[in-house]
Amino acid sequence: MTADTITPRESLIRAFLARHGWGEAERGTLAGDASFRHYDRLRRGSETAVLMDAPPPQEDVRPFVALARHIESLGLSAPRLLGVDEVNGLLLLEDLGDRTYTRCLAAGEDETALYALATDVLAEITARPDAIPPGLPRYDDERLLTEAALLTDWYYPAVTGSPLPAPQREEYLAIWRRLFPLARLAPETLVLRDFHVDNLMRLNRPGLAGCGLLDFQDAVAGPATYDLMSLLEDARRDIDPLLIERMKQRWLARVGGLDRVSFEASWAVMAAQRHAKVIGIFTRLARRDGKPLYLGHIPRLWRLMTATLAHPALSELAAWLERTIPADRRTVPTP
């Protein structure tokens, strides 16, 4: 890149890195994700760090900054903040390495041990009275409804060719309003919201700190079942039902005070809500943002949704879906 072609954004990045002593570091692309955020790995001799480029107004790094500090205060592992420019959406972060859970599992590492550690982290968060930081948004009904509506607003028209009629959409939302009290049978805690193998790191640290946490800037205060369900009903990989059951039992034993019936009702509602949301998000990523890769996970999401709908509490939702998006329409949309 010549001086004539340096963009204003690149100039901001270079100035930011220079202020924090990384101006001469080598930069290599580390990752992009489904958002507007972009990550570079920086090398300065034997040292490494990570640049998060989260351009405003599409992104706001302030929640990430606040949550990273809070997670560290709980004795858990989030990337340490080495440099912060909240106005311009630039962060210099500790490099937690390359051992994501996804890579560890692909390399044949002990699946049960990895999931047990992640489960214990969630149990610790649920058990901590100080887990929810002041001012954290709540996972209230309107937020949950907005997410559930991604199925009707993006997926339905993608597979049928026309928008869902308003009366049917309102019926769908009314069903969810009746279900959400069941979700809240579980205790309220810090919900990281994207707790899955792509966002977890295996670190060489003792105890719970050995599980590194990434993507948590959208955290809310909500039902404690949500993150565990997100981990174990993963859109990205199939998990042995026996392992899922063992992790449920492990979490319940560590948290205490929540009976299995209430736990399963909360789990079922949160699972159905998340699967509906993610099916909609993956469709939107393909149709609006030109990112079709995620469409390949939709068949798994429908399998997970179908299994979840067997819970008696979800019979009304199951009947609505059967009428509106029957099995032969639960296909992968074209990009």
Q: With cut-offs at 50, 70 and 90, classify the pLDDT of residue 36.
A: confident
The residue written with tokens 């041990």 in the block is 113
- As given in the structure block, the two tokens for residue 320 are 């609505």
- Mean local confidence (pLDDT), 240-260: 97
Residues near 141 by beta carbon (within 8 Å), at least 6 away in sequence = 177, 180
Question: Would you state the pLDDT for residue 39?
Answer: 94
Domains and CATH numbers, the chain: 8-94 (3.30.200.20), 101-329 (3.90.1200.10)
Rounded to whole angstroms, the Cα distance separating 301 from 60 reads: 29
Mean of the per-residue pLDDT values of the chain: 96
Residue 1 has pLDDT above 70, yes or no: no
The residue written with tokens 């509602």 in the block is 269
- Mean local confidence (pLDDT), 246-269: 97
Q: Name the pTM for this structure.
A: 0.93
Strand partners, 176: none
- For the stretch 101-131, pLDDT in tens is 999 999 999 999 999 999 999 999 999 999 9
Residue 288, judged by CB atoms within 10 A of its CB (0-12, 13-18, 19+), counts as exposed
Give the containing element (helix H, strand E) for 278. Answer: helix 260-287
- Mean local confidence (pLDDT), 228-251: 97
- Mean local confidence (pLDDT), 133-152: 97
- Are the beta carbons of 122 and 227 closer than 8 angstroms? yes
- For the stretch 299-317, pLDDT in tens is 999 999 999 999 999 999 9
Torsion of CA 26, 63, 279, 250, to 10 degrees: 100
Question: Would you state the pLDDT for residue 34?
Answer: 59
- As given in the structure block, the two tokens for residue 226 are 């949500």
Question: Would you state the pLDDT for residue 271?
Answer: 98
Residue 31 has pLDDT above 90, yes or no: no
DSSP character at residue 59:
-
Amino acid symbol at 187: P
- Are the beta carbons of 293 and 260 closer than 8 angstroms? no
Round to the nearest angstrom and report the end-to-end CA distance of the chain: 33
- Mean local confidence (pLDDT), 256-264: 96
Say what percent of the chain tops pLDDT 90: 95
Q: With cut-offs at 50, 70 and 90, classify the pLDDT of residue 5.
A: confident
Distances (CA, A) of 218 to 33, 68, 122, 126, 139: 14, 12, 16, 17, 10
Question: Would you state the pLDDT for residue 32?
Answer: 62
Write b or e for each residue in 195-217: b if 16 or more Cβ atoms lie within 10 A of its Cβ, otherwise e: bbbbbbbbeeeeebebbbbbbbb
